Amino acid sequence: MFIELTDILRCPADHEEHVLVLLPDGVTDRQVERGQLGCMECGRVYPIRDGIAEFGTGPAARGTTKLDATAMAAFLGLAGAGGYVALVGEPVASWEALAELLGAVHIVGVNPPEGTMAGPGLSLVRGGAIPVRSRQLRGVVLGPATAGEAHWVREAERVTLPGLRVVGEGTTPSTPGLDVLAGAEGVWVARRR
């Protein structure tokens, strides 16, 4: 997990959002390999093992996605470097190709496919929500295991900066915080209000 990611992470428990405190046990080239994240609000502690921050269990990535790196980059429509984009589930498998297209945008992989390894340009987290404070990400891509789920669509909406995009493979959402821009063949693109 990229050490600076700590600045935007939050405890997924139902309370006011606060920055988590990082207690690293192993760091190599700004990547936290082992350690703990602690919540000052509720006292919960979340382990970091093998570079993956563990916030609980979430839906497993179940196969492949129609969204390749080129499609994700086009649908996200980002211009300029910096910041973070989250890929949830199956899209994490294409993170390297997407990182090459996006340049200096760091990718947060949520509930990645089995065997995905964290490293420069990719931080991995697991859990039942996107453990990022509200309005922090430049975009979110939801894979087929999550894009049709209202909870995950709301999470993507919550963490995305206003005016930027959420992309999904699944049922087109109907939520007040997102304006659907387009949808075809089971893939949709929406802008955060």
CATH fit for domain 69-192, picks 3.40.50.1400, 3.40.50.620, 3.40.50.150, 3.40.1160.10? 3.40.50.150
Q: For residue 148, which amino acid is it? A: G
Which residues make beta-bridge pairs with 166? Answer: 140, 190
Helices (H), 139-182: 150-159
For the chain, give every domain's residue range: 3-51, 69-192
- Distance (Å, rounded) from C-alpha 154 to C-alpha 81? 26
- Asked if 12 and 126 count as a contact pair (C-beta separation under 8 A), the reply is no
- Give, in order, the Cα–Cα distances in Å from 82 to each of 7, 78, 106, 123, 183: 14, 10, 7, 15, 28
pLDDT at 161 > cutoff 90: yes
SS3 call for 150: helix
pLDDT at 5 > cutoff 90: yes
Q: What is the layout of strands, in order, in the sheet containing 178-184?
A: 21-28, 31-38, 45-49, 52-54, 122-126, 106-110, 84-88, 137-142, 160-169, 187-192, 178-184
- End-to-end CA distance of the chain: give it in Å, rounded: 30
pTM over 0.85: yes
Quick: pLDDT tens for 139-151: 999 999 999 999 9
Nearest to 105 by CA among 93, 121, 92: 121
Angle, CA of 111, 151 and 155, to the nearest 5°: 70
pLDDT at 62 > cutoff 90: no
Helices (H), the chain: 69-76, 95-102, 150-159
pLDDT band (50, 70, 90) for residue 190: very high
